[in-house]
Amino acid sequence: MVNEFQKLAKSILFSELKSRSRKRKYSNISSLFQLNKNVSDEGTKLTMTLPNTPLVRNERNITDGGMMATLLDSAMGTLAGSTIPKDYVTVTQDIEFRYVKAAIGDL
């Protein structure tokens, strides 16, 4: 029963990722975590949000710190990628965080 559920969940997940990725030109990470982005007309400002779903919460029911890092890394990469020629890519070489307190609600 568990294996059947896992197979079904995996099938639905990958189907949704492919669909969302094609429709809105989001990365798989953005699709999986339902990141939403809004880039300014000038292309110099970006707002990206991460819904606070069970997928991003840890065993204490707070947003996992790694998810906050993923959000920031995705936002930085999206904005950086929008400022370079199409045949170039951007990557994060190094990233460091200092967490102050637990995140509550959407990020």
Q: Provide the H-helix boundaries in 1-107.
A: 2-24, 28-32, 65-81
pLDDT class for 12, splitting at 50, 70, 90? Answer: low
12 or 83: whose pLDDT is higher?
Answer: 83
pLDDT class for 1, splitting at 50, 70, 90? Answer: very low
> Alpha-carbon distance 90 to 88, whole Å?
7
Q: What is the pLDDT of residues 42-61, one digit of tens each?
A: 777 889 998 888 888 888 88
Instruction: Please answer whether residues 99 and 107 qualify as being in contact, where contact means their C-beta atoms are separated by less than 8 angstroms.
Output: no
pLDDT class for 5, splitting at 50, 70, 90? Answer: low
* pLDDT of 86 over the 80 cut: yes
Domain ranges of the chain: 1-27, 33-107
> Alpha-carbon distance 29 to 72, whole Å?
12
